[in-house]
A and B are shown apart, each in its own frame.
Chain A
Amino acid sequence: MTNRKTAEVWVGVFVTIGLAALVWLAFRVGNLTTTDVANGYRVEAHFENIGSLKVRGAVTLAGVRIGRVVQIHTDPDNFQAVVTLNIDGRYKNLPTDTSASILTAGLLGEQYVGLDPGGSEEYLKEGSRIKLTQPAMVLEKLVGRLLTAFIDKPADNGKKK
């Protein structure tokens, strides 16, 4: 039988480095530390189309992540998507006329909400609603618009909007 003390030491080493690897993976490789939004307040935004935005998608201001999408559902009255955003408490001075757009990030095409601050002197707070929104770009509609633009052009001479 192997010396009990040696065995126990090695097992201790093994378990320690195994757990350390798990911890390293969680923090350094994954984004465990950055999932929490501190002292967040919730605002709503209504979109015509949210594209492939998902719950836990990012909310950014000038490209910096300041919050997370916490809920997505539809408004039965006006058939629009209602997205609830949880914004970090540090960013208390977002003007009420801030606009929210759904943008696409990077190669893998994950969608997120980008905020563009307005100029109002009143600020968004818990329960506020962002009124200016830009829907997500849906590829088919873009192509459709492009095609109609080409088709309408020659026949457009007499027709003015």
Chain B
Amino acid sequence: MESERVPAPAPSPGSDSLVELRGVSFSYNTRTILDNLTLSIPRGKVTAIMGGSGCGKTSLLNLIGGRLRPSQGEVLVDGQNVPSLNIRELYQLRKRMGMLFQHGALLTDLSVYENVAFPIREHARLPEAVLRNLVLMKLQAVGLRGARDLMPWELSGGMARRVALARAIVLEPMMIMYDEPFTGLDPISMGVIAKLIRELNQVLGITSIVVSHDVAEASMISDYAYLLGDGRILGQGTPTELQQSTSPHVRQFMDGLPDGPVPYTYPARNYLDDLLESRT
């Protein structure tokens, strides 16, 4: 990535957490997804949220983004309690957040260039020449300036995500949330994304929240990590601390053990009873 003359955001006074969840509970239908959860995302750092499928990682991002409401607790982003904001305030806040969806979520009827230009066109009145420079700069940052006239269906998975990343940073947000950025990519593409996440954080100072279940990659790029499960935090710390944790939950996840606190066998009746029943 070429160095850009983008000034680093001024350090803000007050708490050093950009995002804080305090006692947040969230359920979907009858299932409790998050139970009295408290965690904080430090400003200017890369924080990983890891956990098994269905542990509420994506719900967490949606709670931070205001698309879901917790049944209990506070979700604070830069000091504002998200669930209590009205629509206009929420939209104002969202302009300062970037989100990278799992498959990019590019608008399929627009070209790569137009996709990256979309947030600018919708929110700002910039002369076309300025807009063009901005878009090209962001595309250059993700290494796809030459692909600007392609359509989304002509891109590979990795390329689509990079375009989505360019789009997410075009308004220079204070934070970016990455929803499973490594899933489904080949090792090279994974390396590219990891590099970009790390660089965006270091060069532009953007707070990054990476939701992933790829332990290796997430550990490599993050400064701090949380392991979620059963609606609560099973472990937290720097990647090194987690690697050395003795908690069985953390160990099973970090080492990828098939059986442990998360059982291998789905709860069932006695095996013999089941077999005998089929004979009658």
Contacts and interface: CB of A to CB of B under 8 A. Distances in A.
Interface of A: 1
B110 interface: yes
B109 interface: yes
A1 B111 CA distance: 7
Nearest to B151: A1
Nearest to B107: A1
Contacts of A1: 109-111, 114, 151
A1 B114 CA distance: 10
A1 B112 CA distance: 11
Contacts of B111: 1
B106 to A, nearest CB: 12
A74 B151 CA distance: 75
A4 to B, nearest CB: 11
Contacts of B151: 1
Interchain residue pairs A-B with the least CB separation, the first 5: A1-B109, A1-B110, A1-B111, A1-B114, A1-B151
Nearest to B110: A1
Nearest to A2: B109
A9 B114 CA distance: 22
5 contacts: A1-B109, A1-B110, A1-B111, A1-B114, A1-B151
A1 B152 CA distance: 11
A118 B151 CA distance: 83
Interface in B123-148: none
Nearest to B109: A1
Interface in B97-119: 109-111, 114
Nearest to A1: B109
Contacts of B110: 1
A1 B108 CA distance: 8
Contacts of B114: 1
Nearest to B108: A1
B110 to A, nearest CB: 6
A1 B110 CA distance: 6
A6 to B, nearest CB: 15
Contacts of B109: 1
Interface in B152-166: none
B135 to A, nearest CB: 16
A92 B40 CA distance: 94
Nearest to B111: A1
B108 to A, nearest CB: 9
B264 to A, nearest CB: 49
A1 B107 CA distance: 10
